[in-house]
């Protein structure tokens, strides 16, 4: 995972106060099991649920982007449309890592 964000798999959880993004992970420094709340989204219907689910998928998408960029194949084996997808993955990864 990228330095600086809360580690672990995130999940969207609906509470009376709104959607929360939660993760439970083992802290590498202390060895303690930790619950963290990387984001909260105000309650208010479908867009907020969709936003919560998208945010909760962010760590998984980040790892997928890293894998796409890492496993680029030899140029002559790549279909032209794949170049666009790889470049989009690079741009999204740079944005997530603050390099854009």
Q: How confident is the model at residue 43 (pLDDT cuts 50, 70, 90)?
A: low
Cα separation values, 59 from 36, 64, 76, Å: 14, 9, 31
CA distance 54 to 39: 12
Distance from C-alpha of 23 to C-alpha of 55, rounded to nearest angstrom:
12
pLDDT of residue 73: 58
Instruction: Share the mean pLDDT of the chain.
Output: 80
Round to whole Å and give the CA distance between 26 and 73: 35
> Phi, psi at residue 72, to the nearest 5°?
-55, 140
* pLDDT at site 76: 55
- Average pLDDT for residues 12-32, to the nearest whole number? 84
Distance CA 37, CA 18 (A): 13
Q: What is the pLDDT of residues 52-98, one digit of tens each?
A: 888 889 889 998 888 888 876 555 566 777 778 888 888 999 888 88
């Amino acid at each position: 995972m990228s330095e600086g964000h809360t580690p672990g798999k995130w999940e969207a959880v609906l509470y009376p106060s709104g959607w929360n993004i939660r993760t439970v992970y083992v802290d590498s420094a202390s060895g303690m099991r930790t619950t963290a709340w990387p984001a909260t989204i105000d309650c208010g219907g479908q867009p907020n649920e969709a936003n919560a689910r998208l945010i909760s998928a962010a760590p998984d998408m980040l790892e997928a982007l890293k894998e796409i960029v890492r496993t680029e194949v030899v140029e002559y084996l790549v279909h032209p449309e794949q170049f666009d997808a790889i470049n989009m993955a690079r741009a999204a990864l740079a944005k997530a890592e603050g390099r854009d």
